[in-house]
Every structure is written in C-alpha cells, then in structure tokens.
Amino acid sequence: MTSTSLHHDRHDPAVAPPVIGGIDHVEWWVGNARSFAALLMSSFGFEAVGYAGPETGRRDRVSHVLQQGRIRFVVTGALGPDSPISEHVRAHGDGVKDICFLVDDAEAAYAAAIARGAVTERPPAIDSDQLGAIHQAAIRTYGETVHTFLDRSAYTGQFAPGFGPAVLPTPRGEAVGLTRFDHIVGNVELGHLGEWVDYYREVLGFDQLVHFGDDQISTEYSALMSTVVWNHDKVVLPINEPAEGRRKSQIEEYLDYYHAPGVQHLALHTPDIVHAVRTMRDRGVRFLEVPPEYYVDARERMAGIDLPWAALAELGVMVDRDQDGYLLQIFTETVCDRPTVFFEIIQREGAKGFGAGNFKALFEAIERAQAARGNL
C-alpha cells in the first residue's frame, strides 16, 4: 500500500494559505476512458464538451471532458503500457487522480502551499495556444491523489490548450439535473486521519467543519471515523478512516481493493432529487437499497416537513435534518469494477450536515453489498 509521507517540519504558518475559488474539475484515471465517459453520459446525464488525444496532438493519452451544471469531469486513459496512467490503473483500478482547485494565481497558490508544508507533484507550468494560457501546478494529498491549482483567467477556450471539440455524441434521455459538487470524500488508513486533517489545515488553511467518532458511525459489524475539512466556502472534503469493528469495515474493503488511500465518493447536488434519481434509474444507475422499515422512523424524525414520502420510499431516497433545515440523499453502487468509488446524490434544503441520522441505515446497506462480495 502506498502512502504519501508528510513532512511538517517545513510548515511556515506565517505564509498566508492559497486562495481557492472552488473545484474546477475532477480528473479520473481509468482503463478505458471512452467506456467510462460513456457510462457517465448515458447513465448519469453528463454531456461531452471536449476531447484531447492523438487528433489534437496528444500522443500518450486521451481525455474526455464532461459537464453537467457546474460539475466537470475529465476522464483520462493511457495509450500505452508505460504510461503513469497505466501504472495507476494497474495498482488502483479506475479512480480519481486529481481534485483540481480553481485559483486566481497558480504560482502563488503553489508557492504558499509548499511553504506551508505541501509535498510537490508538479511545479508551475503554463500551457498555451491561440486562445490564451492556463497556469497550473500541483501538490500531493492522500495516496496517489493530487490537487492541481489551476488559473484559467487568461484562457478564452472551452477547457484547456490541447483540447478540441467533444467526439462522443450525447445520448438521448431526459436531463438529470445535477448542478454542482457538494463534497468529495477520501478514505485513509487506520491511524492516519489526524495527520491528513492537519495537512489540509496547515497546507491549505482549511478548517474542521465537523468530526464524527466511531460511536456515531458504527453498525453491528464495522465502524469508521470521519472528519470534514473545508475552505469556509465551496470546497468540502470529508476524510474517513476505519475504526476497530467486529468485521472488516467498508473503509478497509476500499483500501484493500484500491491498494492505497483515495477518493471514496463524490456527492453531487441536485435541486430535485426525486426527478434526478428517477431519471438516473431509468438510465440504468443502480442505487443502494433502503429497507421499507427505514421510512417508519424517517417519517417520525422529519415530523412537520412536507415530503413526497411515496416517491422517496419507491426510489430509496434517505432523509435527515439538522437545526438549519433538511437534506435528501441517496448512494449509488460502486461505479468501478473494484468495490471502491461511488456517487452520492444530495438535495439540500438548508441543512449543512452529511446525513448523520442515516449513517446506520446507510452502512447496513453497504455491508449487505460487502457481504455479497464475500468481504464482510
């Protein structure tokens, strides 16, 4: 199992942290970019908006840029066996390589992150064509995952130099209506949660939004701990570590199959989860099943809130509330061959939480899937 080693001795807190405007895109490194992109398009309703490959002058890889609302994915595959993408796929299967941050000044963001103790992935570079220039640099985070700092303010093209128009046709189907990244969750090894929370605090100036102990996230079989760090704005990154349980926790199963820490799930926001989930089900997405008994207790917990209960129960959408409002959420099955990465679909109506009231029901659903794989 690989793990980025962290050296906090170079941490200089006198340097202001990088200013991050949001998530520009998430890049996947996969075994077959055309197929994975096609899945995200046909099942999740993404549209191809760009392409890079041999036809655009890139010899070693192909990338499809997909968009839905403000969610942008880059799906990248290798064109040969010696590529770092092939190595990554061999070790981890399909997965998220880069959570790319939009910044105003990539050189300054990178310099600040390095001064504050970041481990470098790529020093600053400028990619340019006739439509302008993209400035970017990257640091490492958990496992082989990276954060690129990307400044596109001097670029007028669709995505980036080296990319041309999309080559994958948009499949027919009703629009799903996913609008933005809500949060992106990483899994790290037992005993390493604290150091990664410190890394985000020290390097990026993030703060802890909330911590869930293993007493809050446990079932009869397994437990986990989770700390959510954020930039006080749009970037919300929960981090999980496994806790001691009676059997193998879902986080351990992830780590066993991904062979490293990495991104576990991406939560995508929609203003209408009933429509989004119904449409995705019609398009072939499979979600974790919620037992009918769940809704007896859920109706009590949500007393006073008018909700389309028949539709929620039919679709398996879960509900939770906090002092600020409520949220509706649902989780897909894993979307790669290995039981690693999955999506959450979430509709927030004021609530700022993560569905703590659903943790038990959710993890029991995950464990049913784990048991079916012989991993519980």
- Binding residues for Fe ion, rule: CB under 5 A, are 267, 344
Angstrom distance (rounded) from CA 270 to CA 279: 12
Q: How far is the CB of 308 from Fe ion (least distance, A)?
A: 22
> Nearest distance from residue 265's CB to Fe ion, in Å?
6
Minimum distance, C-beta of residue 245 to Fe ion, in the bound complex (Å): 20
| CB 284 to Fe ion: min, Å | 22
Contact 244, 223 (CB under 8 A): yes
How many CB atoms are located within 10 Å of the residue 322 CB?
15
Q: Which of residues 118 and 267 has its CB atom nearest to Fe ion in the complex?
A: 267
CA distances from 141 to 5, 91, 148, 195, 237 (A): 10, 17, 10, 11, 12
Cβ 329 to Fe ion shortest distance, Å = 7
- Cα separation of 289 and 368, whole Å? 9
Q: Judged by CB, which is closer to Fe ion: 98, or 344? A: 344
Give the integer Cα–Cα distance in Å for 231 and 19: 9
Quick one: 17 or 238, whose CB is closer to Fe ion?
238
**Whether 333 contacts 343, CB under 8 Å:** no
C-beta of 94 vs 344, nearer to Fe ion = 344
* Closest distance to Fe ion from the beta carbon of 135 (Å): 31
The residue assigned the tokens 């027919």 is 172
Q: Tell me how many degrees the CA angle 96-337-83 measures, rounded to the nearest 5.
A: 50
Reduced to 3 states (helix: H, G, I; strand: E, B; else coil), residue 56 is: helix
Helix count and strand count (H, E) for the chain: 9, 16
For Fe ion, give the closer residue by CB, 4 or 370.
Answer: 370
The contacts of residue 84 (CB under 8 Å, 6+ apart) are 78
Buried b (16+ CB within 10 A) or exposed e, 40-66: bbbbbbbbbbbbbbeebebeebbbbbb
CB of 341 to Fe ion, least distance (A): 12
Q: 22 with 101: CB under 8 angstroms?
A: yes
- Report the nearest approach of Fe ion to the CB of residue 204 (Å): 20
The answer to whether 224 and 214 are in contact (CB under 8 A) is: yes
**Whose Cβ is closer to Fe ion: residue 63's or residue 226's?**
226
User: Does an H or E element contain 252, and which?
Assistant: helix 250-258
Q: What letter represents residue 129's amino acid? A: D
Q: Which is nearer to Fe ion, 95 or 117 (CB)?
A: 95
C-alpha–C-alpha distance, residues 179 and 187, integer Å: 24
Shorter beta-carbon distance to Fe ion: residue 241 or 344 = 344
Nearer to Fe ion, 74 or 237 (CB): 237
Shortest distance, CB of residue 185 to Fe ion, whole angstroms?
A: 5
Least separation in angstroms between residue 71's CB and Fe ion is: 15
> Residue 119 or 210: which CB sits closer to Fe ion?
210
Residue 43 CA to its chain's centroid (Å): 17
